[in-house]
Amino acid sequence: KEGARVVFPVPSSSISAALPWTMVASTAKAYVLAAVVTAAALDPRDLTRARTRVPRPAWKGSHFESMSVTLNGHLVKMFPHTRPCSEWTSEELQSFQAMLHGHAHDELNAIYAQVSDSRRLHLTSLDAYHEHWREANALLVHHPHLREMHRDGHCHEAVMWLPPPA
């Protein structure tokens, strides 16, 4: 059995609309977009999904593992050029996240922040994230058994930051 992985849901019309509906650790494979995406004007459906806290039935599973398989299936259908989380290092994911940070939609983040939704950006700037990552990476030197969990956390967060496709 594989170790913990992160599952990413993807909305049908725009990637950031509901990313993530639910982000959970599971034994299913996890994928992160390997392509560069650009910010686009928000579709009204993105705003509706951002205000929705409960996923629609097509984005759920009957139990933990089936939900993981369902959500990863949606991601792979929408973005066939994905890479499993296990193929990334934390540092690669941090670089990917730094690129994504510049494409964040303030309107979506404001919606998430109003209700303390886990989809919101938790730090105020990219510099703050770089400092946070530097500190976390330094801790791994003394706690190497946490490397996989650390990487999976970045996978989880990277998908949360994906902007709507152009």
Mean pLDDT value of segment 129-133: 97
Residue 56 amino acid letter? R
Smallest CA-to-CA distance from 82 within 144, 15, 22, 138 is with 15
User: In the prediction, which pLDDT does 154 show?
Assistant: 93
For 17, 64, 65, 77, the CA distances from 74, given in Å and listed in that order, are 14, 16, 14, 5
Distance separating the N- and C-terminal Cα atoms of the chain: 37
User: Is 109 within 8 Å of 63 (Cβ atoms)?
Assistant: no
More confident residue, 21 or 151: 151
Which of 35-39, 54-58, 111-115, 129-133 has the weakest average pLDDT? Answer: 35-39
User: In the prediction, which pLDDT does 9 show?
Assistant: 34
DSSP state of 146: G
Mean pLDDT value of segment 65-75: 81
User: In the prediction, which pLDDT does 158 show?
Assistant: 85
CA 104 from chain centre, in angstroms, equals: 12
Confidence of residue 145 (pLDDT cuts 50, 70, 90): very high
More confident residue, 127 or 162: 127
User: Is 30 within 8 Å of 93 (Cβ atoms)?
Assistant: no
Residue 108 amino acid letter? L
Smallest CA-to-CA distance from 102 within 54, 60, 161 is with 161
SS percent in the chain: helix, strand, coil, step 5: 50, 5, 40
Mean pLDDT value of segment 68-74: 81
User: In the prediction, which pLDDT does 23 show?
Assistant: 33
More confident residue, 28 or 45: 45
- The 10s digit of each residue's pLDDT in 92-109 is 999 999 999 988 888 989
Please check the confidence at residue 18 and state whether its pLDDT lies above 50: no
Please check the confidence at residue 1 and state whether its pLDDT lies above 80: no
User: Is 6 within 8 Å of 29 (Cβ atoms)?
Assistant: no
Structure tokens belonging to residue 121? 């950006």
Share of the chain above pLDDT 90, in %: 30
